[in-house]
């Protein structure tokens, strides 16, 4: 088996009530948990990422000094060790085989910019396990899911985004991200396909 599931940033600050909560975030967390209950055995590797920003810096300009532009600068979110950085309560992580933290002191969108506690990157994990196919789910479709899927395609993997297991910041930019992923060679499916 050479398939991996990438679960991107299903965290409290990105779901309802969080610093950058997206509509439908809690529902996506529940649906991912349900999907894992039925499909855990389909994957050789299940990788989950979290934004894990430093509390004592602007994280390379990622945290806005004034008004955020919501493109390159953002309100403070997912600060290491805070409740906002923890996984959403509706996301059962028991099936996750590797946890990556990203954005430690710098902007980071892609799961590929993260590392495990022992310093292994997503690409190293894929190579260790011979993974060629990746399903991508999580938050937010138009930012971190997009970046993770595009990096996986650039790394020569076959990528499928499960569109019923993602939630985005805005409908138009989320749709544009999915079109971009498909144009880059990824495929779009649902969890029941």
Q: Taking a C-beta distance cutoff of 8 angstroms, is the pair 5, 46 a contact?
A: yes
Q: Taking a C-beta distance cutoff of 8 angstroms, is the pair 20, 142 a contact?
A: no
- Among residues 78, 88, 144, 151, the one annotated as catalytic is 144
192 CB burial (10 A radius; 0-12, 13-18, 19+): exposed
- Among residues 102, 135, 142, 151, the one annotated as catalytic is 102
Identify any residues that bridge with 160 across adjacent strands, giving them in sequence order: 135, 187
User: Which among 88, 90, 87 has a CA at the least distance from the CA of 100?
Assistant: 87
Q: Taking a C-beta distance cutoff of 8 angstroms, is the pair 107, 60 a contact?
A: yes
Q: Taking a C-beta distance cutoff of 8 angstroms, is the pair 64, 88 a contact?
A: no
Q: Does 9 participate in catalysis according to the annotation?
A: yes
Q: Does 101 participate in catalysis according to the annotation?
A: no
Residue 3's H or E segment, with its range, is strand 3-8
Across 37-186, the runs of DSSP E, i.e. the strands, are: 45-51, 98-102, 133-139, 158-167
- Among residues 9, 13, 51, 88, the one annotated as catalytic is 9
Positions marked catalytic? 9, 102, 144
């Amino acid at each position: 088996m050479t398939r991996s599931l990438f679960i991107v940033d299903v965290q409290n600050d990105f779901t309802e009530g969080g610093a950058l909560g997206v509509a439908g975030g809690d529902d996506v967390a529940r649906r991912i948990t349900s999907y894992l209950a039925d499909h855990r055995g389909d994957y050789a590797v299940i990788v989950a990422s979290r934004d894990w920003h430093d509390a004592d810096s602007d994280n390379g300009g990622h945290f806005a000094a004034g008004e955020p532009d919501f493109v390159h600068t953002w309100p403070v979110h997912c600060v290491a060790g805070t409740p906002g950085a923890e996984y959403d309560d509706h996301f059962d992580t028991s099936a996750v085989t590797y946890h990556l933290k990203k954005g430690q002191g710098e902007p980071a969108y892609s799961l590929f910019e993260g590392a495990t506690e022992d310093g292994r990157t997503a690409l190293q994990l894929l190579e260790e396990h011979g993974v060629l196919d990746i399903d991508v789910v999580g938050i937010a479709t138009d930012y971190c899911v997009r970046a993770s899927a595009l990096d996986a395609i650039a790394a020569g993997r076959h990528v499928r985004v499960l569109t019923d297991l993602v939630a985005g910041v805005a409908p138009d930019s989320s749709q544009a991200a999915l079109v971009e992923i498909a144009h880059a060679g990824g495929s779009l499916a649902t969890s029941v396909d």
